[in-house]
Amino acid sequence: MRAPAEFYLTIFDRYGNLPRYGNLPCSAETGRELIWEFNFQFDSAVDPYNKESVSLLEKQGIDLSRNKKYGIDSREFALQFKCSELGMRSYSGRLVWLTFHGPHVWKYFKGNVYDLKSMIPFVGLHGGLEKVARSMNLKRAVGKSHQAGSDSLLTMHAFFGLMKNCLEIAWRWGVATPGRVV
């Protein structure tokens, strides 16, 4: 078991539309897509962790010493999340959760959880998120690889790219019916 250093959230509807920012539509073209990245308190002297993962996060610009001092307490976050409307919808099974190689999140979220990494072999794709995105001609809209918010948004784009190009796979997985995804 490892302690999470970060958590990310990209909220979108069944058609892939992102929340609006004021009266302006959010899109990659306008640069107004809304994603949330939460950095948790993390202390390598106390919290269990994978050395390679921590090294990778630090190389990508995550300041874990800053997280230790200013990060969010993950237990408090979990409690607040569960009590929020989003958390309540999760436990009612009305939300779909999407991850890329994140089976460890399945135990935390109720409802439908789809792991893109486990879906891509069915369409002949393999590799990490960056490689999969390149093979689908997708570009990262914001941030760097291995930064939670940026990866979340790219995962969403890859998921909808997969659904758009391979609806028969979506039907097989039960996340689409003719004329409607999720």
* CATH number for the domain harbouring residue 170: 3.30.420.10
In a domain, 135, yes or no: yes
In this structure, are strands 180-181 and 176-177 parallel, antiparallel, or unpaired?
antiparallel
Quickly tell me which residue has 């610009």 as its tokens.
61
In a domain, 84, yes or no: yes
Say how many domains are in the chain: 1
* Type and span of the H or E element at 33: none
pLDDT of 157 above 60: yes
Q: How many CA atoms lie within 13 A of 154 on its CB side?
A: 26
- CA 125 from centre of chain: 19
Per-residue pLDDT, 66: 92
pLDDT of 131 above 90: yes
pLDDT of 10 above 80: no
In a domain, 1, yes or no: no
- CA 77 from centre of chain: 17
Residue 23 in tokens: 């009266």
Domain that holds residue 58: 6-181
In this structure, are strands 112-115 and 96-99 parallel, antiparallel, or unpaired?
parallel
Per-residue pLDDT, 69: 93
Per-residue pLDDT, 122: 80
Q: How far is CA 84 from CA 8, 77, 107, in A?
A: 16, 10, 18
pLDDT in tens, 17-74: 776 666 655 555 555 656 777 888 988 888 888 888 888 888 888 888 999 999 999 8
In a domain, 55, yes or no: yes
pLDDT in tens, 63-119: 889 999 999 998 888 888 878 877 776 666 666 777 887 666 555 666 667 788 888
CA distance 93 to 1: 26
